[in-house]
Amino acid sequence: MGRVREAGTLGGVWPWLVGWALLCSACTSVNPYFDPSKAHHTPQGFRNSDGSTGGKGLGELLKWYVERTLDGLPKPPSTHVNGYDFPQTRPDLAFLHANRTEPTLTWIGHATLLLQIAGLNVLTDPHFSERAFAVQWMGPKRRVPLTVKLDELPRIDLVLISHAHYDHLDETTVEALLKQAGGAPFFAVPLGVERWLKARGAMRVQAFDWWQSLRVAGVDLHFVPARHWSARSLFDRNATLWGGWVLRANDFSFYFAGDTGYSRDFIDIGERFGGFDLAAIPVGAYLPRWFMKDQHVDPDEAVRIHLDVKARQSVGIHWGSFELTDEPLDAPISELAQARSRQGVDASSFVLYRHGETRRYPASPSGLIPAQRPQRPGDEAPAASHPLRAGAPLSIRPGMKP
């Protein structure tokens, strides 16, 4: 009985399973953003570019839960680390606070990154809580402690949200960002997530549909497709959009894939933007494949994305923090290495950071990767530049909903 209790723990208790089951099978409301000319829009919400709606049904979820419980999964890490004692490092906070010119990336954990680009401090999918769930007394627990607190980081200028799942959109962290010294950051979010943020007091928020863009303090910001789904409650399945982010400054470009299964979208992204200096691509939470394939890439597919989007360098994210699926937390360490080898990708081109690690990146040689590319017919034109200062008005281009 003890084995079943331990093996069946994905955050500690059965209510977590019930909650996820309800999310996976919940109905949705009417889509206020519905545009019949866009294939990923539906009257009830959104879907992937191939028409799929992501996720699995209640029956499949229960089947997975029974199988993982009987098999005692996930196993604690043992191949590359001893238990959950992952290698960690403390960020050079003095450098990060002083830096205004050098592109840097710091992996906080899971999908949370601090990107410094063109003098901006950008935070992706910020999550600094101990559990990835609606409450902090159950749900997936952070297995590797943070090496830095949110209030120790430089003031955050821009926050990028990929989608509304609890391991990517954390209410406690958002509330702390809204209260940060110097004023709340600017939030760039998928369609529908802005309502959740505004209900919590956020005023400086811009919602994006796929392929929409905005020039923000000298950086071109684009929202791009991913293959996933969304839900936070019983009645909002796919009511908000999901996707990834592209940032392009004059001398550096960055792609954040968010959370995704594999699709042709990444070939399209590579073709539209011509490549990136650096990409952050998920490499964890992928087993069992029969259940996870439609929503989470495995390391082989992550390397395919690296190649599809034409990244000069990539870093793996979405691993090593929360036990969300069946593989041990340290599995991506060897699985990514094997995937690189199979696809002929150099080890230095797609790496994993230590928790808390910062790496500095050189600016692009002039003309290597264009800062801007012509848009295709039907793409939204970029809006006027938004300066990101506290109280600055938002520039919302035609066709975007405030």
Per-residue pLDDT band at 233 (split at 50, 70, 90):
confident
**CA atoms 152, 160, 244, 387: torsion sign:** negative
Higher pLDDT, 382 or 76: 76
Return the pLDDT at 57.
83
Q: Which residues contact 31 (CB under 8 A, 6 or more apart)?
A: 41, 42, 43, 44, 45, 46, 239
Which of residues 10 and 305 earns the better pLDDT score? 305
Which pLDDT band holds residue 254 (cuts at 50, 70, 90)? very high
- pLDDT above 90 (res 47): yes
Q: How confident is the model at residue 19 (pLDDT cuts 50, 70, 90)?
A: low
Question: 76 with 328: CB under 8 angstroms?
Answer: yes
Rounded mean pLDDT, 173-201:
98
Better pLDDT: 206 or 58: 206
Q: Cα 30 to chain center, whole Å?
A: 26
- Least confident range from 28-37, 228-237, 376-385: namely 376-385
Structure confidence at residue 4 (pLDDT): 29
Least confident of 58-72, 302-316, 359-373: 359-373
Domain ranges of the chain: 93-368+380-386
Q: What share of the chain is helix, strand, coil (3-state, %, to 5)?
A: 25, 20, 55
Band of pLDDT at residue 387, cut at 50, 70 and 90: low
Residue 365 pLDDT class (50, 70, 90 cuts) = low
- The answer on pLDDT for 364 being more than 70 is yes
Q: Rounded mean pLDDT of 30-40?
A: 96
Q: What is the pLDDT of residue 29?
A: 72
Q: Across the strands, what pairs with 281?
A: 316
User: pLDDT above 70 covers what percent of the chain?
Assistant: 84
What would the pLDDT profile of 112-154 be if each residue is shown by its tens digit? 999 999 999 999 999 999 999 988 888 899 999 999 999 999 9
Q: Give the pLDDT of residue 94.
A: 98
Mean pLDDT computed over every residue of the chain: 87
Query: Which pLDDT band, with edges at 50, 70 and 90, does 185 fall under?
Result: very high
Q: What distance separates the 2 farthest-apart alpha carbons in the chain?
A: 63
| Across 150-175, average pLDDT | 98
Report yes or no: 45 and 193 within 8 Å, Cβ to Cβ.
no
346 token code pair? 């150099």
Looking at CATH, the fold of the domain delimited by 93-368+380-386 is given as Metallo-beta-lactamase; Chain A (3.60.15)
Structure confidence at residue 1 (pLDDT)? 30
Has residue 366 got a pLDDT over 90?
no
Q: What is the pTM of this model?
A: 0.88
Residue 370 has pLDDT above 50, yes or no: no
Query: Do 48 and 210 contact (CB within 8 A), yes or no?
Result: no
Task: Specify the 3-state DSSP secondary structure of 261.
Answer: strand
Phi-psi region of 247 (alpha: psi -120 to 50; beta: other; left: phi over 0): beta
Res 377 pLDDT > 70: no
**Average of per-residue pLDDT across 84-103:** 97
Residue 375 in this model has a pLDDT that exceeds 70: no
